[in-house]
Amino acid sequence: MREVKIKGTEQSYPVGKIVCLGRNYLDHIRELGNKVPDRAVIFCKPASSMLPDGGQIELPPYTDDCHHELELAVLIGQSGKNIAEEDALQHVAGYGVALDLTLRDLQSELKDKGLPWEIAKGFDTSCPLSDFVPAAQVDNPNDIRLKLKVNGELRQDGTTAQMMRTVEEIIAELSQYYTLEPGDIILTGTPAGVSRIQSGDQLDGEIEQVGTLSVSVK
């Protein structure tokens, strides 16, 4: 069973659902040539996709175009269904740094055929994830800076203020479809700057007030 920890405490949570939000930053939508969605684009990753800080990404042999996507991760600490926006942050236990790795070539192929594309998102090691800081340590999750460097070169540099949906709105909307439970993790979308990674790359992510994440590609 996979667990995540809250930094500076003895608290840990067995991981439940990893629920991800796509197309939540307008610049990222534009860079991929996608349409602005009317409702949240939601998909899930299995717990087996998690990779701890310091780990190695293993690119599957059936892809040649894996992209990095730096994201703010939200850890649920209190169960809820049909959560009101004004109550949403009461359900958050902590925040972490995550990467949503995407097999862009496979995703595009499946989308063109009108097929589900979760296998392009949920492969082993596709969700590098840091430990979480207590929710109270983050002043405002909707206004913190995200940066990702690949081999020392800045690739992504944005702020959660650019999100189309706030953390509160995301939690409220997701809880209409899923009961959110302690140990569930929400990935909130990525700013512009995604690009291909390859064997030997070093990825270093940082989110203001939250922490850092460093992984390499095998």
Residue 54 has pLDDT above 70, yes or no: yes
Given this model, what pLDDT does residue 1 score? 82
Per-residue pLDDT, 40:
76
The mean pLDDT of the chain is: 94
- For residues 83-110, one letter each, b for 16 or more C-beta atoms within 10 angstroms of the residue's C-beta and e for the rest, the string is beeeebbebbbbbbbbbbbbbbbbbeeb
The domain total for the chain is 1
Whether residue 192 is predicted with pLDDT greater than 70 in this model: the reply is: yes
In this prediction, residue 53 has a pLDDT band, given cuts at 50, 70 and 90, of very high
Task: Kindly state the tokens that stand for 17.
Answer: 């659902």
Cα 42 to Cα 20, 91, 189, distances in angstroms:
6, 19, 10
**Paired strand residues for 206:** 147, 212
Which two tokens mark 166? 């706030």
Q: Is the pLDDT of residue 9 over 70?
A: yes
Q: Is the pLDDT assigned to residue 38 strictly greater than 90?
A: no
Among 13-27, 115-129, 183-197, which stretch is predicted with the lowest mean pLDDT? 13-27
Window from 26-35, 37-46, 65-74, 156-165 with minimum mean pLDDT: 26-35
Alpha helices in the chain (DSSP H): 26-32, 104-112, 167-177
pLDDT per residue as tens digits for the range 148-189: 999 999 999 999 999 989 999 999 999 999 999 999 999 999
For residues 67 and 155, give the distance between their C-alpha atoms in angstroms, rounded to a whole number: 11
Phi, psi of 37 (to 5 degrees): -80, 150
Q: Is the dihedral of CA 186, 43, 26, 32 positive or negative?
A: positive
Cα angle at 35 between 30 and 37, to 5 degrees?
Answer: 115
In the chain, % of residues over pLDDT 70: 94
C-alpha 37/C-alpha 169 separation (Å) is: 15
- Give the domain range for residue 174: 3-217
pLDDT reported for residue 31: 67
Tokens read off for 20: 């991800």
Say which residue, 126 or 36, is predicted with more confidence: 126
189 with 25: CB under 8 angstroms? Answer: yes
**Domain harbouring 199, CATH code:** 3.90.850.10
